[in-house]
């Protein structure tokens, strides 16, 4: 070695790293776990859709802090015994609760590759930045945004929506809200959207300092779509009262029923009123990938900002969402690194030849390589397969709705424009709270049996079984199984109640 400096303290003898001591042994464990997980994915439908975490497993997971390491073989064995068998169930073909995605084996593989690279994608001259830029560009194209648009991958819909609203706030405040915040008083900044908008909007208003009461919920019609004329009236009267409306949120697929607002009308209204138009397309925006469904969400391409998830209808494993913004400068405004961050200033070439591109487009500075799983999934599966899978889910929702319609004791509780079906078991003579209670029990029995996982919601005061289909593993027959189980459990409960009542 040429001219190394002498070590005044003498050479250190046993320095430690966290790498395996025995790489061959590690390789064996890792290969076995890869096989385990491939098999787990392959047999996703062979286990119950859900099962509770048993008491003895909970007890075993309630462990003291491990001060010393134990063999990786033992840790993996515990994972296989105590962790792996008790998931939420969302990789199962009959999981339709809330809005959860399945993930895919390709996505799983990509997660391992990304973790192996351990890229920090805040910026830097590294391949991962190019992969994320490309992914954002692909979605710009798919969603019909202009090529000059900006975008970033984030943890999910909530964060993507927050990014959009943050940009709306700084663009619409009328003063330097990024510099001065909201402490200076002045007109109240207000945000509008339908009563069916997901509660991310309240959280975002709170986090952005606007306060939850800055959100003005606008009524919907019987189709659960925003009443645009009511919106206009509210905006105008708020202006007259001296407030400052800044943003309208449109829904492409509401969480409750899959309704899509008239996005074209909202876009025109926002243009006329100089308001920021944000669209929450958490799952619904992905309908734009299908030539047959695109018309359903027409108008989202006119948004100033659009948020959607990739871990729901995109089938990418958690976590992955995307925010697209029409104007790059408006996107960067709330997140740009202050000049004082000298440690982030580019020296002009080398590892950091320019600004921290993605680190200045969202809340996170350090951020992982979630673009890889999206990039690999799209490349390996192709947009056409995503589109077909989305269409398939919509056809399955129509099929389930037809089964509900055809059965005298089943009742649809909302229109089914997309992939969400809300219905209930409604035998003659049971009404009101008793009917709600009956359906709650039907839901819980089906979940607890492990057959399927629907969830629930309340629509116009009525308890609804809710089936949200963002599941590439579901097959038509799975929905017949569900409808059959609802009738069976409902009949059994009603018969038991009748039995209890008769002398
Ligand atoms: C799921 C969902 C969200 C929130 O997205 P996360 O990925 O859970 O943060 C927002 N809006 C709608 C319509 C959703 O379905």
**pTM of the full structure:** 0.96
Grouping H, G, I as helix, E, B as strand and the rest as coil, residue 421 is strand
Question: For the chain, what's the residue count?
Answer: 503
- In which order are the strands placed within the sheet that holds 462-468? 410-412, 420-425, 462-468, 455-459
What local confidence, expressed as pLDDT, does residue 49 receive? 98
Query: Is 59 exposed, middle or buried, given 0-12, 13-18 or 19+ CB atoms closer than 10 A?
Result: exposed
Measure the CA–CA gap between 211 and 274, rounded to whole angstroms.
Answer: 22
Token pair of 313, please? 């209808």
Pocket of ligand 1 (CB under 6 A): 99, 156-158, 198, 200, 253-255, 280, 282-283, 309, 321
Measure the CA–CA gap between 256 and 87, rounded to whole angstroms.
Answer: 24
Q: Which of 380, 317, 255, 287 is nearest to 101 (CA)?
A: 317
Q: How far is the CA of 419 from the centre of ligand 1 (A)?
A: 15
Candidate from 203, 261, 280, 286 with most ligand 1 atoms within 8 A of CB, to mutate: 280
CA distances, 193 to each of 321, 414, 461 (Å)? 21, 20, 21
Q: Which of 288, 303, 99 is nearest to 193 (CA)?
A: 303
The two beta strands, 244-251 and 150-154, are unpaired
Q: For the CA atoms of the chain, what is the radius of gyration?
A: 26
The tens place of each residue's pLDDT in the chain, 503 residues long, gives: 456 777 777 666 789 999 999 999 999 999 999 999 999 999 999 999 999 999 999 999 999 999 999 999 999 999 999 999 999 999 999 999 999 999 999 999 999 999 999 999 999 999 999 999 999 999 999 999 999 999 999 999 999 999 999 999 999 999 999 999 998 778 999 999 999 999 999 999 999 999 999 999 999 999 999 999 999 999 999 999 999 999 999 999 999 999 999 999 999 999 999 999 999 999 999 999 999 999 999 999 999 999 999 999 999 999 999 999 999 999 999 999 888 888 999 999 999 999 999 999 999 999 999 999 999 999 999 999 999 999 999 999 999 999 999 999 999 999 999 999 999 999 999 999 999 999 999 999 999 999 999 999 999 999 999 999 999 999 999 999 999 999 999 999 999 988 876 65
Q: How far is the CA of 5 from the centre of ligand 1 (A)?
A: 57
In this structure, the residue with its CA closest to atom 12 of ligand 1 is: 282
Q: Which of 155, 110, 157, 114 is nearest to 320 (CA)?
A: 155
In this structure, the residue with its CA closest to atom 15 of ligand 1 is: 255
**Phi-psi domain of 84 (left: phi exceeds 0; alpha: psi -120 through 50; beta: other):** alpha
Q: Which atom of ligand 1 is nearest to the CA of 200?
A: 10
List phi, psi (to 5°) of 27.
-60, -40
What local confidence, expressed as pLDDT, does residue 12 receive? 63
Grouping H, G, I as helix, E, B as strand and the rest as coil, residue 133 is helix
What local confidence, expressed as pLDDT, does residue 267 receive? 98
In this structure, the residue with its CA closest to atom 13 of ligand 1 is: 255
What local confidence, expressed as pLDDT, does residue 340 receive? 85
Q: Which atom of ligand 1 is nearest to the CA of 283?
A: 15
């Amino acid at each position: 070695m040429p001219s190394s400096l002498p070590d005044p303290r003498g050479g250190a003898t046993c320095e430690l790293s966290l790498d395996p001591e025995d790489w061959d042994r590690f390789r064996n464990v890792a290969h076995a776990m890869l096989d385990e997980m491939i098999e787990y994915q392959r047999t996703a439908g062979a286990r119950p859709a859900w099962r509770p975490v048993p008491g003895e497993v909970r007890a075993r997971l309630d462990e003291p802090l491990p001060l010393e390491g134990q063999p990786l073989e033992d840790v993996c064995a515990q994972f296989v015994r105590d962790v792996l068998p008790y998931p939420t169930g969302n990789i199962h073909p009959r999981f339709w609760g809330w809005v959860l995605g399945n993930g895919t084996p390709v996505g799983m593989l990509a997660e391992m590759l990304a973790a192996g690279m351990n890229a920090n994608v805040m910026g830097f001259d590294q391949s991962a930045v190019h992969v994320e830029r490309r992914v954002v560009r692909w979605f710009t194209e798919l969603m019909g945004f202009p090529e000059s648009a900006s975008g970033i991958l984030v943890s999910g819909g909530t964060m993507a929506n927050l990014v959009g609203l943050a940009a709306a706030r700084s663009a619409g405040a009328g003063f330097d809200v990024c510099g001065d915040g909201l402490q200076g008083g002045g007109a109240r900044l207000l945000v509008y959207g339908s009563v069916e908008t997901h509660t991310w909007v309240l959280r975002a208003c709170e986090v952005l300092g606007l306060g939850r009461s800055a959100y003005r919920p606008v009524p919907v019609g019987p189709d659960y779509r925003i009443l645009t004329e009511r919106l206009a009236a509210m905006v105008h009267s708020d202006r007259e009262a001296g407030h400052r409306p800044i943003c309208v949120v449109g829904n492409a697929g509401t969480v409750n029923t899959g309704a899509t607002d008239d996005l074209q009308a909202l876009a025109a209204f926002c243009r006329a009123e100089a308001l920021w138009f944000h669209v929450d397309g958490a799952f619904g925006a992905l309908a734009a990938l299908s030539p047959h469904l695109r018309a359903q969400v027409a108008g989202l391409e006119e948004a100033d900002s659009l948020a959607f998830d990739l871990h729901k209808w995109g089938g990418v494993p958690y976590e992955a969402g995307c925010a697209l913004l029409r104007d790059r400068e408006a996107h960067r405004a709330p997140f740009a690194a202050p000049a004082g961050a000298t440690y982030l200033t580019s020296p002009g070439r080398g590892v950091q030849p320019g600004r921290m591109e993605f680190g200045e487009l969202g809340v996170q500075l350090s951020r992982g390589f979630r673009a890889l799983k999206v990039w690999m999934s799209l490349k390996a599966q192709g947009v056409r397969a995503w589109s077909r899978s989305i269409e398939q889910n919509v056809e399955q929702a129509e099929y389930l709705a037809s089964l509900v319609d055809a059965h005298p004791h089943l009742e649809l509780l909302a229109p089914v424009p997309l992939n969400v079906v809300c219905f209930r078991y409604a035998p003659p003579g049971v009404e009101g709270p008793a009917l709600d209670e009956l359906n709650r029990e039907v839901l819980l029995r089906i979940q607890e049996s492990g057959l399927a996982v629907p969830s629930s919601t309340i629509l116009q005061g009525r308890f609804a079984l809710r089936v949200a289909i963002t599941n590439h593993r579901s097959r038509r027959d799975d929905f017949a199984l569900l409808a059959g189980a609802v009738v069976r459990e409902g009949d059994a409960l009603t018969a038991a109640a009748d039995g209890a009542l008769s002398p």
